[in-house]
Amino acid sequence: MDSLTHLVLGAAIGEAVLGKRIGRKAMLWGAIADTIADFDVFASPCVSDAQQLMIHRGITHSLLFVVLVSPVLGYLFSQLFRKTEISWRSWSLLFFLGMFSHVFIDAFTSYGTGLFEPFNSYRVSFNTIFVADPFYTIPFLFCVLVALIAKNGSPKRLKWNKAGLVISSCYLIFTFVNKWHINDKMTESFNKKGIQTGYLITTPTPLNNFLWMAYSPDKTGYWFGYYSIFDKTNSIDWYHIMRNDSLLLPFANDESVKILKQFSKGYYVVSKNDTSIYFNDIRFGQIGGWDKPDSSFVFSFALNRNVDNSMALNRRKFKTSFSETFSSLITRIKGK
Protein backbone atom coordinates (compact mmCIF):
# COMPACT_ATOMS: atom_id res chain seq x y z
CA MET A 1 0.00 0.00 0.00
CA ASP A 2 1.01 3.65 -0.29
CA SER A 3 2.97 5.46 2.44
CA LEU A 4 0.00 7.51 3.69
CA THR A 5 -2.04 4.37 4.28
CA HIS A 6 0.76 2.79 6.29
CA LEU A 7 1.18 5.93 8.39
CA VAL A 8 -2.54 6.08 9.18
CA LEU A 9 -2.75 2.37 10.00
CA GLY A 10 0.34 2.57 12.20
CA ALA A 11 -0.97 5.62 14.03
CA ALA A 12 -4.24 3.85 14.80
CA ILE A 13 -2.41 0.79 16.10
CA GLY A 14 -0.13 2.97 18.21
CA GLU A 15 -3.13 4.68 19.79
CA ALA A 16 -4.82 1.33 20.45
CA VAL A 17 -1.73 -0.18 22.12
CA LEU A 18 -0.19 2.73 24.06
CA GLY A 19 -2.57 5.67 23.67
CA LYS A 20 -3.89 5.53 27.23
CA ARG A 21 -0.36 5.59 28.63
CA ILE A 22 1.59 8.08 26.50
CA GLY A 23 -1.14 10.02 24.69
CA ARG A 24 -0.64 11.36 21.19
CA LYS A 25 2.97 10.18 21.09
CA ALA A 26 1.62 6.66 20.68
CA MET A 27 0.35 7.60 17.22
CA LEU A 28 3.80 8.87 16.25
CA TRP A 29 5.58 5.70 17.37
CA GLY A 30 2.89 3.54 15.79
CA ALA A 31 3.29 5.35 12.46
CA ILE A 32 7.06 4.86 12.63
CA ALA A 33 6.65 1.17 13.48
CA ASP A 34 4.40 0.69 10.48
CA THR A 35 6.91 2.24 8.06
CA ILE A 36 10.01 0.32 9.20
CA ALA A 37 9.40 -2.41 6.62
CA ASP A 38 9.83 0.15 3.83
CA PHE A 39 13.34 1.04 4.96
CA ASP A 40 14.46 -1.33 2.19
CA VAL A 41 14.19 1.65 -0.20
CA PHE A 42 17.44 2.98 1.27
CA ALA A 43 19.24 0.10 -0.46
CA SER A 44 18.24 1.46 -3.89
CA PRO A 45 21.44 3.45 -4.57
CA CYS A 46 23.53 0.32 -3.99
CA VAL A 47 21.81 -1.98 -6.50
CA SER A 48 20.67 -2.00 -10.12
CA ASP A 49 17.25 -0.78 -11.24
CA ALA A 50 16.03 -4.34 -11.70
CA GLN A 51 17.36 -5.52 -8.34
CA GLN A 52 15.47 -2.70 -6.62
CA LEU A 53 12.22 -4.38 -7.66
CA MET A 54 13.13 -7.61 -5.88
CA ILE A 55 14.63 -5.96 -2.79
CA HIS A 56 11.53 -3.88 -2.13
CA ARG A 57 8.99 -5.92 -0.16
CA GLY A 58 11.64 -8.58 0.30
CA ILE A 59 13.40 -9.50 3.55
CA THR A 60 12.14 -6.44 5.48
CA HIS A 61 8.58 -7.55 4.64
CA SER A 62 9.08 -11.10 5.85
CA LEU A 63 7.50 -12.73 8.89
CA LEU A 64 10.99 -13.63 10.10
CA PHE A 65 12.02 -9.97 10.08
CA VAL A 66 8.91 -8.96 12.02
CA VAL A 67 9.39 -11.66 14.65
CA LEU A 68 13.12 -11.00 15.16
CA VAL A 69 13.17 -7.20 15.01
CA SER A 70 10.09 -6.49 17.16
CA PRO A 71 11.58 -7.60 20.52
CA VAL A 72 14.90 -5.93 19.72
CA LEU A 73 13.24 -2.57 19.08
CA GLY A 74 10.97 -3.16 22.06
CA TYR A 75 13.97 -3.56 24.34
CA LEU A 76 15.77 -0.51 22.91
CA PHE A 77 12.73 1.71 23.37
CA SER A 78 12.10 0.43 26.88
CA GLN A 79 15.63 1.54 27.73
CA LEU A 80 15.45 4.87 25.90
CA PHE A 81 12.14 5.83 27.48
CA ARG A 82 12.42 4.39 30.97
CA LYS A 83 10.51 7.33 32.45
CA THR A 84 7.35 6.17 30.68
CA GLU A 85 7.51 2.92 32.66
CA ILE A 86 6.34 1.03 29.60
CA SER A 87 7.71 -2.51 29.57
CA TRP A 88 9.69 -3.97 26.69
CA ARG A 89 6.76 -6.32 26.11
CA SER A 90 4.41 -3.41 25.43
CA TRP A 91 6.94 -1.72 23.15
CA SER A 92 7.56 -5.06 21.41
CA LEU A 93 3.82 -5.52 20.90
CA LEU A 94 3.60 -2.06 19.31
CA PHE A 95 6.41 -2.78 16.86
CA PHE A 96 5.14 -6.27 16.12
CA LEU A 97 1.61 -5.11 15.30
CA GLY A 98 2.92 -2.13 13.35
CA MET A 99 5.29 -4.13 11.16
CA PHE A 100 2.98 -7.13 10.82
CA SER A 101 0.05 -4.96 9.73
CA HIS A 102 2.34 -3.41 7.10
CA VAL A 103 3.44 -6.67 5.50
CA PHE A 104 -0.04 -8.16 5.88
CA ILE A 105 -1.87 -5.37 4.06
CA ASP A 106 0.83 -5.21 1.37
CA ALA A 107 0.07 -8.84 0.57
CA PHE A 108 -3.43 -7.80 -0.51
CA THR A 109 -1.97 -5.98 -3.55
CA SER A 110 -0.72 -7.20 -6.92
CA TYR A 111 2.87 -6.22 -6.12
CA GLY A 112 3.07 -8.99 -3.57
CA THR A 113 5.09 -9.44 -0.40
CA GLY A 114 8.04 -11.70 0.41
CA LEU A 115 6.49 -13.10 3.58
CA PHE A 116 8.70 -16.19 3.56
CA GLU A 117 12.06 -14.55 2.81
CA PRO A 118 14.87 -15.59 3.01
CA PHE A 119 13.71 -19.22 2.83
CA ASN A 120 11.43 -18.74 -0.15
CA SER A 121 11.36 -15.80 -2.60
CA TYR A 122 7.70 -16.35 -3.53
CA ARG A 123 5.71 -13.11 -3.35
CA VAL A 124 2.32 -13.49 -1.68
CA SER A 125 -0.35 -11.41 -3.43
CA PHE A 126 -4.09 -11.79 -2.93
CA ASN A 127 -4.93 -9.23 -5.65
CA THR A 128 -7.89 -7.79 -3.77
CA ILE A 129 -6.91 -4.11 -3.49
CA PHE A 130 -4.89 -1.63 -5.54
CA VAL A 131 -1.68 -0.24 -4.00
CA ALA A 132 -3.45 3.10 -3.47
CA ASP A 133 -7.16 3.00 -2.70
CA PRO A 134 -8.74 6.24 -1.37
CA PHE A 135 -11.92 4.36 -0.40
CA TYR A 136 -9.81 2.54 2.19
CA THR A 137 -7.51 5.37 3.25
CA ILE A 138 -9.66 8.53 3.38
CA PRO A 139 -12.35 7.34 5.85
CA PHE A 140 -9.59 5.80 7.98
CA LEU A 141 -7.57 9.04 7.88
CA PHE A 142 -10.61 11.10 8.90
CA CYS A 143 -11.26 8.91 11.95
CA VAL A 144 -7.62 8.99 13.04
CA LEU A 145 -7.41 12.78 12.65
CA VAL A 146 -10.52 13.26 14.80
CA ALA A 147 -8.98 10.95 17.41
CA LEU A 148 -5.72 12.89 17.23
CA ILE A 149 -7.49 16.19 17.91
CA ALA A 150 -9.47 14.81 20.85
CA LYS A 151 -8.07 15.12 24.36
CA ASN A 152 -5.77 12.42 25.68
CA GLY A 153 -7.69 9.69 27.45
CA SER A 154 -11.11 10.96 26.36
CA PRO A 155 -13.83 8.46 25.31
CA LYS A 156 -14.12 10.35 22.00
CA ARG A 157 -10.48 9.58 21.22
CA LEU A 158 -10.97 5.86 21.82
CA LYS A 159 -14.25 5.83 19.92
CA TRP A 160 -12.94 7.44 16.73
CA ASN A 161 -9.73 5.44 16.67
CA LYS A 162 -11.68 2.23 17.07
CA ALA A 163 -14.10 3.35 14.36
CA GLY A 164 -11.20 3.86 11.94
CA LEU A 165 -9.85 0.38 12.61
CA VAL A 166 -13.28 -1.22 12.24
CA ILE A 167 -14.24 0.64 9.05
CA SER A 168 -10.89 -0.06 7.35
CA SER A 169 -11.02 -3.73 8.35
CA CYS A 170 -14.55 -4.05 6.99
CA TYR A 171 -13.40 -2.54 3.70
CA LEU A 172 -10.62 -5.13 3.43
CA ILE A 173 -13.19 -7.87 3.99
CA PHE A 174 -15.35 -6.25 1.31
CA THR A 175 -12.46 -6.47 -1.19
CA PHE A 176 -12.28 -10.24 -0.67
CA VAL A 177 -16.04 -10.67 -1.06
CA ASN A 178 -16.01 -8.38 -4.08
CA LYS A 179 -13.19 -10.35 -5.69
CA TRP A 180 -15.19 -13.56 -5.26
CA HIS A 181 -18.17 -11.88 -6.95
CA ILE A 182 -16.00 -10.48 -9.76
CA ASN A 183 -14.34 -13.86 -10.36
CA ASP A 184 -17.74 -15.46 -10.74
CA LYS A 185 -19.02 -12.85 -13.23
CA MET A 186 -15.86 -12.64 -15.33
CA THR A 187 -15.34 -16.40 -15.45
CA GLU A 188 -18.91 -16.85 -16.65
CA SER A 189 -18.38 -14.31 -19.42
CA PHE A 190 -15.02 -15.77 -20.37
CA ASN A 191 -16.37 -19.30 -20.63
CA LYS A 192 -19.16 -18.12 -22.92
CA LYS A 193 -16.49 -16.95 -25.37
CA GLY A 194 -15.24 -20.53 -25.63
CA ILE A 195 -11.61 -19.46 -25.30
CA GLN A 196 -9.29 -22.33 -24.38
CA THR A 197 -6.95 -21.15 -21.62
CA GLY A 198 -5.86 -22.48 -18.26
CA TYR A 199 -7.14 -19.96 -15.72
CA LEU A 200 -8.33 -16.40 -15.12
CA ILE A 201 -6.73 -13.86 -12.78
CA THR A 202 -8.64 -10.81 -11.56
CA THR A 203 -7.22 -7.61 -10.04
CA PRO A 204 -8.71 -4.15 -9.29
CA THR A 205 -7.92 -1.15 -11.46
CA PRO A 206 -6.22 1.97 -9.99
CA LEU A 207 -7.72 3.86 -7.05
CA ASN A 208 -10.88 1.78 -6.62
CA ASN A 209 -12.39 -1.64 -6.02
CA PHE A 210 -15.34 -1.35 -8.38
CA LEU A 211 -13.76 -1.73 -11.83
CA TRP A 212 -11.68 -4.87 -12.24
CA MET A 213 -9.35 -6.26 -14.88
CA ALA A 214 -8.94 -9.95 -15.70
CA TYR A 215 -6.25 -11.66 -17.74
CA SER A 216 -5.77 -15.21 -18.88
CA PRO A 217 -2.69 -16.68 -20.59
CA ASP A 218 -2.73 -18.87 -23.68
CA LYS A 219 0.08 -20.19 -25.90
CA THR A 220 0.76 -16.87 -27.63
CA GLY A 221 -0.20 -14.18 -25.14
CA TYR A 222 -3.01 -13.03 -22.88
CA TRP A 223 -6.73 -12.33 -23.02
CA PHE A 224 -7.84 -9.17 -21.21
CA GLY A 225 -11.21 -7.91 -20.07
CA TYR A 226 -12.71 -5.27 -17.75
CA TYR A 227 -15.82 -5.45 -15.62
CA SER A 228 -17.48 -2.94 -13.26
CA ILE A 229 -19.79 -4.04 -10.48
CA PHE A 230 -22.15 -1.39 -11.86
CA ASP A 231 -22.28 -2.97 -15.35
CA LYS A 232 -25.84 -3.91 -16.31
CA THR A 233 -24.66 -7.21 -17.86
CA ASN A 234 -21.54 -9.34 -17.69
CA SER A 235 -21.04 -9.23 -21.46
CA ILE A 236 -17.36 -8.37 -21.41
CA ASP A 237 -15.34 -7.28 -24.46
CA TRP A 238 -12.34 -9.64 -24.34
CA TYR A 239 -9.26 -8.78 -26.40
CA HIS A 240 -5.92 -10.49 -26.98
CA ILE A 241 -2.38 -9.16 -26.68
CA MET A 242 0.61 -11.11 -28.00
CA ARG A 243 3.38 -11.98 -25.56
CA ASN A 244 6.13 -11.43 -28.19
CA ASP A 245 8.87 -13.41 -26.44
CA SER A 246 10.94 -13.30 -29.62
CA LEU A 247 11.68 -9.62 -28.96
CA LEU A 248 13.64 -10.70 -25.85
CA LEU A 249 16.07 -12.91 -27.78
CA PRO A 250 18.80 -10.20 -27.85
CA PHE A 251 18.52 -10.06 -24.02
CA ALA A 252 18.44 -13.81 -23.40
CA ASN A 253 21.44 -13.74 -21.05
CA ASP A 254 20.82 -10.34 -19.52
CA GLU A 255 20.53 -10.49 -15.73
CA SER A 256 18.15 -7.51 -15.56
CA VAL A 257 15.64 -9.19 -17.86
CA LYS A 258 15.84 -12.38 -15.81
CA ILE A 259 15.01 -10.36 -12.70
CA LEU A 260 12.10 -8.66 -14.47
CA LYS A 261 10.70 -12.06 -15.43
CA GLN A 262 11.00 -13.26 -11.85
CA PHE A 263 9.43 -10.09 -10.47
CA SER A 264 6.46 -10.31 -12.85
CA LYS A 265 5.93 -14.00 -11.96
CA GLY A 266 6.02 -14.65 -15.70
CA TYR A 267 3.02 -12.40 -16.42
CA TYR A 268 4.42 -10.04 -19.02
CA VAL A 269 4.22 -8.99 -22.65
CA VAL A 270 6.94 -7.41 -24.76
CA SER A 271 6.24 -4.53 -27.12
CA LYS A 272 8.24 -2.43 -29.56
CA ASN A 273 7.91 1.26 -30.28
CA ASP A 274 10.27 2.72 -32.88
CA THR A 275 13.71 1.60 -31.69
CA SER A 276 12.73 0.82 -28.09
CA ILE A 277 11.67 -2.54 -26.71
CA TYR A 278 9.44 -2.54 -23.63
CA PHE A 279 9.02 -5.16 -20.94
CA ASN A 280 5.47 -4.82 -19.59
CA ASP A 281 4.36 -6.38 -16.32
CA ILE A 282 0.67 -6.98 -17.00
CA ARG A 283 -0.38 -7.50 -13.35
CA PHE A 284 -0.83 -3.76 -12.81
CA GLY A 285 -3.01 -3.26 -15.88
CA GLN A 286 -3.00 -0.58 -18.59
CA ILE A 287 -3.36 3.19 -18.50
CA GLY A 288 -6.87 3.41 -19.89
CA GLY A 289 -7.11 -0.21 -20.97
CA TRP A 290 -10.82 -0.16 -20.12
CA ASP A 291 -11.29 2.19 -23.11
CA LYS A 292 -8.39 1.41 -25.46
CA PRO A 293 -6.99 -2.15 -25.75
CA ASP A 294 -3.72 -0.78 -27.15
CA SER A 295 -3.06 1.44 -24.10
CA SER A 296 0.36 1.40 -22.44
CA PHE A 297 0.88 -0.77 -19.38
CA VAL A 298 1.32 0.83 -15.96
CA PHE A 299 4.50 -1.09 -15.20
CA SER A 300 6.59 -0.76 -18.34
CA PHE A 301 10.38 -0.77 -18.72
CA ALA A 302 12.36 0.24 -21.79
CA LEU A 303 15.17 -2.22 -22.47
CA ASN A 304 17.94 0.06 -23.73
CA ARG A 305 21.70 -0.24 -23.97
CA ASN A 306 24.09 2.41 -22.70
CA VAL A 307 27.27 3.42 -24.53
CA ASP A 308 29.21 0.78 -22.57
CA ASN A 309 26.60 -1.84 -23.59
CA SER A 310 25.24 -2.11 -20.06
CA MET A 311 21.51 -2.39 -19.51
CA ALA A 312 19.54 0.74 -18.64
CA LEU A 313 16.02 0.15 -17.41
CA ASN A 314 13.83 3.21 -17.74
CA ARG A 315 10.20 3.47 -16.68
CA ARG A 316 8.06 4.55 -19.60
CA LYS A 317 6.77 8.12 -19.48
CA PHE A 318 3.11 8.30 -20.40
CA LYS A 319 1.77 10.95 -22.73
CA THR A 320 -1.84 10.68 -21.58
CA SER A 321 -2.71 13.30 -18.97
CA PHE A 322 -3.82 12.23 -15.52
CA SER A 323 -7.06 14.21 -15.79
CA GLU A 324 -8.05 12.44 -19.02
CA THR A 325 -7.22 9.01 -17.64
CA PHE A 326 -9.00 9.68 -14.35
CA SER A 327 -12.08 10.99 -16.17
CA SER A 328 -12.28 7.90 -18.37
CA LEU A 329 -11.80 5.68 -15.30
CA ILE A 330 -14.72 7.31 -13.48
CA THR A 331 -16.90 6.98 -16.57
CA ARG A 332 -16.09 3.28 -16.91
CA ILE A 333 -16.63 2.59 -13.21
CA LYS A 334 -20.19 3.88 -13.54
CA GLY A 335 -20.90 0.88 -15.76
CA LYS A 336 -22.19 0.27 -19.23
Tell me the average confidence (pLDDT) per consecutive run of 10 residues in the chain, 336 residues long: 96 96 95 95 76 86 97 95 91 98 96 93 94 97 97 92 98 98 94 84 95 95 96 91 94 88 93 86 91 88 60 53 88 94
Domain-embedded: residue 184: no
Measured distance CA(293)–CA(98) in Å, rounded? 40
Same domain membership, residue 100 and residue 53: yes
Same domain membership, residue 119 and residue 202: no
Q: Residue 323 is inside which H or E element, if any?
A: helix 322-333
Same domain membership, residue 164 and residue 16: yes
Q: Where does a domain end: 176, 202, 235?
A: 176
Structural domain count, the chain: 2
Question: Residue 308's pLDDT is what?
Answer: 40
Domain-embedded: residue 52: yes
Q: Residue 66 is inside which H or E element, if any?
A: helix 63-80
Measured distance CA(236)–CA(244) in Å, rounded? 25
Question: Residue 294's pLDDT is what?
Answer: 87
Domain-embedded: residue 101: yes
Domain-embedded: residue 285: yes
Domain containing 67 equals: 3-176
Question: Residue 317's pLDDT is what?
Answer: 55
CB 33 within 8 A of CB 85: no
Question: Residue 306's pLDDT is what?
Answer: 52
Measured distance CA(234)–CA(227) in Å, rounded? 7
Q: Where does a domain end: 119, 144, 176?
A: 176
Question: Residue 218's pLDDT is what?
Answer: 92
Domain-embedded: residue 187: no
Q: Residue 239 is inside which H or E element, if any?
A: strand 239-242
Size of the chain, expressed as the number of residues it contains? 336
Domain-embedded: residue 183: no
CB 61 within 8 A of CB 106: yes
Residue 169: CA atoms inside 13 Å, Cβ hemisphere, count? 9
The predicted model scores a pTM of: 0.91
Question: Residue 4's pLDDT is what?
Answer: 96
Q: Residue 302 is inside which H or E element, if any?
A: strand 297-305
Domain-embedded: residue 186: no
Question: Residue 54's pLDDT is what?
Answer: 82
Same domain membership, residue 143 and residue 211: no
Q: Where does a domain end: 145, 176, 207?
A: 176
CA distances from 24 to 19, 21, 27, 30, 34 (A): 6, 9, 6, 10, 16
Domain-embedded: residue 14: yes
Same domain membership, residue 98 and residue 126: yes
R_g over Cα of the chain? 22
